[in-house]
Amino acid sequence: MGDEDFLLDGQPHRILSGALHYFRVHPDQWADRIRKARLMGLNTIETYVAWNAHAPERGVFDTSGGLDLGRFLDLIAAEGMHAIVRPGPYICAEWTNGGLPAWLFQDPSVGVRSFEPQYLAAIEEYLQALAPILVPRQIDRGGPIVLVQIENEYGAYGDDARYLERLVELNRAIGLTVPFSTVDQPTAEMLEAGSIPGLHKTASFGSRSLERLATLRTHQPDGPLMCSEFWDGWFDHWGAHHHTTDVAQAAGELDDLLATGASVNLYMFHGGTNFGFTNGANDKGVFQPLVTSYDYDAPLDEAGNPTEKYWAMRDVIARYAPVPDERPSAGSPAPRFEVELDRAAALFDVVESLGTFTAHDHPPTMDELGQYDGFILYRAEIDCVGPAVLEVDEVRDRAQVFFEGDGIGVLARTHHVHSLSLPRDARGTVDLLVEDQGRVNYGSRIGEPKGLIGAVRLCGEPLGRWRAAGLDVGRLEVVRRALGPVAPISGPSYRAGTFSLDESRDLFLDTSGWGKGVVWVNGFSLGRYWSAGPQRSLYVPAPVLRAGENEIIVLELNGVPHRPVVFTEGLELGHTEF
């Protein structure tokens, strides 16, 4: 680094970067999204590394398919661009558990995001697994990586300098030689607590660029200024409004920033999708799980199409750097059609094949059963004379309660509901189907277990003798064998149908007529839907589809009248400005 600039081959270099998370984009679409970043005038792609996605259990490090980080970095290089890698280990990213593997928290003595030996030993294993991917792809070895970030906004969480020092040692030990940086929100407290000497401080913000760069300069007196998270949009929670940012305002703030000579990373350039059960959650007194879409109101929308913000920011960048003459084409509306879901199966008819029930004296957490996302089913036999009230100390995050197979009600963390009435003189089977709606990704509640927490009481007395099973609701081979003709079903059920296409192309599934659940297309989990909004449709990436026959399977939790599913022209997120 120079006195005021990044240096590339000894010459001043401005980083014009865009955030693009490989784990939120279908791998067959990586090259398209990277190329569109270059066509907007960017010269760098930034990505987090999601430790928990690669390591669903300790000793495993998956780099196949959509987790092939090496391939992603090679595609960046092939486009003539550089890369910034942020391996965390904590990443936030509105990603489940902030990227930290849930198995880390099985031992309560493990202290995360601190100088704690067990945690640091796990990080060392993680970085050693990353070494063959990252080390040979550094700029000084002919690769694209120009910068690696240590931790992530650590000043908002702690001030353990020994922890940051050890992270630097571990990253250097695997062979990383490029400059290291940190990022924090531009307050004196966070910038000082979140970094140590030898790490280059950068800031995260989306407005008041000049003021915030000035604050950063007081804490990073030399070297290049950089906003390594320029917030050009925002994320959405279920049950809240859709966030957008004014295009002219966002472009104006970017113009102010670039006029100072600072470098930038647009967060996000292209957000992508929280496929499967990967969305995170926030909890600052109110639990707020994130929606499936991570569109983020970014310059490139969830389907990879340039938006008005794309063109406005491209014009700004063109004032300060060369922009290619080539322009990406605008997206075209997807076809609208209906699909009859003509086969069905009740969830309770297949639960014995989706998980293994075990006996317990108290309701175990999901984590104690070794399951870290999705659903868990609790079952107990009850015999209560008189009025019956079921109470749970805490539910994480949503429990549908059934008595003798009939739905009784919902215990919801989002609404602080912990009790409900059962039928008088209740004698029979009570089931609680609990959904992990996303693990907290920010703050002190990272790592908390899921499921039923604490005691469950019936008629004021503790309820024991439980059977519990973690359910792999995506075990579709089991579901397919159970499917039969559509008939009235009480409670959660799978619905399935097929449709034909002339060619593979992006589609958008309208979920506005449904309640709550999960959708798979050709075995690929599109993620969750919920009538709580604001998201009203799910993105179906073209590579998931094929010319000819395609399959759709819906797990509907609430139960809705029999009706076809509708594919529509585009993504429906709402239009509320933020």
Does the annotation mark 253 as catalytic?
no
Q: Which two tokens stand for residue 244?
A: 């957008």
Beta-carbon contacts of 9 under 8 Å, excluding residues fewer than 6 positions away, are none
The one catalytic residue in 94, 151, 153, 435 is: 153
Q: Which two tokens stand for residue 532?
A: 């709580």
Does the annotation mark 551 as catalytic?
no
Distance, in Å, from the CA atom of 14 to the CA atom of 22, rounded to the nearest integer, reads 24
Phi, psi angles (nearest 5°) of residue 558: -90, -25
- Could you list the beta-strand ranges (E) of 274-418: 281-283, 287-289, 337-339, 343-346, 358-360, 374-383, 388-396, 398-403, 406-412
Burial of residue 188, with CB atoms counted within 10 A of its CB: 0-12 exposed, 13-18 middle, 19 or more buried: exposed
Return the amino acid letter for 127: L
User: In Å, how far are 14, 82, 84, 171, 264 from 11, measured between CA atoms?
Assistant: 10, 16, 19, 26, 18
Strand pairing report for 44-48 and 16-20: parallel
Neighbouring CB atoms inside 10 A of 174's CB total: 16
Distance, in Å, from the CA atom of 463 to the CA atom of 380, rounded to the nearest integer, reads 8
DSSP state of 22: G
Question: Are 364 and 451 within 8 A, CB to CB?
Answer: yes
Return the amino acid letter for 571: L
Distance, in Å, from the CA atom of 363 to the CA atom of 339, rounded to the nearest integer, reads 40
Half-sphere exposure of residue 47: CA atoms within 13 angstroms, side-chain side: 26
The one catalytic residue in 229, 302, 435, 572 is: 229
Residue 407: closest CA among 391, 431, 384? 431
Residue 186 forms beta bridges with which residues? none
Q: Which two tokens stand for residue 518?
A: 């999960």
Residues identified as active-site = 153, 229
